[in-house]
Amino acid sequence: MTPDDRRHMAHALGLGRRGMGQCWPNPAVGCVIVRDGRVVGRGWTQPGGRPHAETVALDMAGGAARGATAYVTLEPCAHHGQTPPCCAALVAAGIARVVAPIADSDPRVDGQGFDHLRKHGVEVTTGIGAEQALLDHAGFFMRVSQQRPWVTLKLAMTLDGRIATATGESKWITGPTARGAVHALRASHDAVMVGAGTARSDDPQLTVRGFGPHRQPVRVVVSRLIDVPLMSQLAQSAKDVPLWLCHGPEARSELRSAWEGVGARLIPCQITGGRIDPRAMLRSLGAEGLTRVFCEGGGQLAGSLLMHDLVDELHVFSAGMALGAEGYPGIGALGVARLDEAPRFQLVDVSPAGKDIHHVWRRSKNG
């Protein structure tokens, strides 16, 4: 391993992140091809998952790929799908060395890509950039291992943890810089999810705005009875931007038909304790191909996800105001009686967001 290896892998990882939210159910992979110290090709997984990063980079490199080193952020695929395996494409192009941080845990690959490369005389180096690659591909791996997507929960709250006044007023607790950061987070996820209460009270669009042409995330509304107004912005845009409704079996058939008529997709979900079971719901979303879901609330949905230990990352935007006990709490009831029962997270980052504070937390490794 050399400083150049680390530098080129960091470049490839940065490229791969450009595909986040754009290429599900495929992983967001980056690839950089280097020959004689010069980058001759680079690419990342394209919208919809194809072409793969290696294909894009090899096409750019052309004949310069022969004898070069390919830095790929995940083990090159080894299975025939809608495209030929990338490990075979790298061999055919004459790549002499492949540097990849981690193996692909997908059973269709799982070491077979590395084996194919070595069998055909390609040197394989692993481990460089592994920690970052594991984080970047966490949603893809989670869908493989746990059949559910990675869940990021966003909370925009006052200093005392409130998301609305007693009368329900909530726009805007945080400022424009924080709201811009939220759009960036939406853009890096496959889906944006809210509860029925938020859909009713805020009438949100849940789209990515301010980023130019963009593959919009799926809008997911969790509504046991599908009791969201059919005149909402979500309904009116359902034929243009994907809208999925996670509902229970008791949702009325006429409402189901009406929502399907405006272009929404219905996802039936299991009910536990009178509410949609969040673990079963996420498995249903994983079965549909989602790898990264960005939950924007409200309080009841946030509480349900936290209570069932289903939040992998928290983005909290704190505004310098207080609303008092009569305001709506950002997180619903958790049933915590003792401190050792509380969900715990580790602080990852703190940064200003205009006049607000943005802090990032990830699931605590110590439980």
Q: What count of other Cβ atoms lies within 10 Å of the Cβ of residue 203?
A: 13
**Residue 25: cis peptide before it, omega within 30 degrees of 0:** yes
Query: Closest Cα partner for 71 from 50, 92, 40?
Result: 40
212 class by beta-carbon count within 10 Å (0-12 exposed, 13-18 middle, 19+ buried): exposed
Q: Find tokens 């830095």 and name the residue.
A: 71
Active-site choice (54, 75, 296, 313): 54
Amino acid identity, residue 256?
R
Q: Which tokens sit at 289?
A: 């191909």
Active site residue 75: no
Amino acid identity, residue 147?
Q
- Determine the angle formed by the axes of helices 278-287 and 299-307, rounding to 10 degrees: 90
Residues whose CB falls within 8 Å of the CB of residue 283, separated by 6 or more in sequence, listed in order: 147, 148
Q: Taking the CA atoms of the chain, what radius of gyration do you get in angstroms?
A: 22
Q: Find tokens 């494409």 and name the residue.
A: 89
Please, which residues bridge with residue 229 across strands? none
Distance from C-alpha of 35 to C-alpha of 94, rounded to nearest angstrom: 12
User: What b/e string do you get for 83-108 counting C-beta neighbours within 10 Å, with b at 16 or more?
Assistant: eebbbbbbbebebebbbbbbbbebee
**What is the secondary structure of 223-267 as a DSSP string?**
-TT--S-TTSHHHHTTTTS-EEEEE-TTS-HHHHHHHHHTT-EEE
Query: Closest Cα partner for 117 from 69, 63, 45?
Result: 69
Question: Does residue 327 contact residue 160 with C-beta atoms inside 8 Å?
Answer: yes
Q: How many CA atoms lie within 13 A of 230 on its CB side?
A: 10
Residues noted as catalytic: 54
